[in-house]
Amino acid sequence: MGQPSNERTVAVVDDDASVRVAIRSLLRSLGFRVETFGSAEDVIAFAGLGDVACLIVDVRLRGMSGLDIQRHLAAAGSGTPLVFITAHDDPADRRQAVAGGALAFLRKPFSDGALIDAVRAALGRAGGHHSNP
């Protein structure tokens, strides 16, 4: 396989390792660069966070929640698009995520196609369609 077709990074934040592995495998098979994190604190501490073009975030994490990540990024002035995933489709969480600008709110188990569509929309919003120098 050649170089990834997308130079931008997609970050996956989920405290379930099997979910991180599955999403990473799916996105890498499509040529995306993927970083995975088991907690909100880990992704916030990530030195390359400013280069992340899309965040896929579980709503409910140990410690800080996915919604806390959204608030943190907003307070920092980041426009990084977020795609929320959750096994608990709480209407209040959904409203808060969408009000905060989430591009998608997907209930687990979601289809590969739904996730891919959301990531592609996020990358388009983040300027992900760029030419390599």
Domain residues for the domain of 48 are 9-125
- Kindly write down the DSSP assignment for every residue of 91-123, as one continuous string: HHHHHHHHHTT-SEEEESS--HHHHHHHHHHHH
Read off the tokens for 43: 């992704």
Query: Token pair 């929320």 is at which residue?
Result: 84
Q: How far apart are CA 73 and CA 49, in angstroms?
A: 10
Q: How many domains does the chain have?
A: 1
Instruction: Kindly state the percentage of the chain with pLDDT values over 70.
Output: 89
With bands split at pLDDT 50, 70 and 90, how would you rate the model's confidence at 4? Answer: very low
Residue 25 lies in a domain: yes
Peptide bond into 91 cis (omega under 30): no
pLDDT at residue 41 above 90?
Answer: yes
pLDDT at residue 133 above 80?
Answer: no
Q: Residue 58, CB half-sphere, CA atoms under 13 Å: how many? A: 25
CATH code where residue 92 lies:
3.40.50.2300
Residue 53 lies in a domain: yes
pLDDT in tens, 92-114: 999 999 999 999 999 999 999 99
With bands split at pLDDT 50, 70 and 90, how would you rate the model's confidence at 89? Answer: confident
Residue 3 lies in a domain: no
Residue 15 lies in a domain: yes
Residue 130 lies in a domain: no
**Eight-class DSSP state of 63:** S
Q: Residue 78, CB half-sphere, CA atoms under 13 Å: how many? A: 20
Q: What is the pLDDT of residue 127?
A: 64
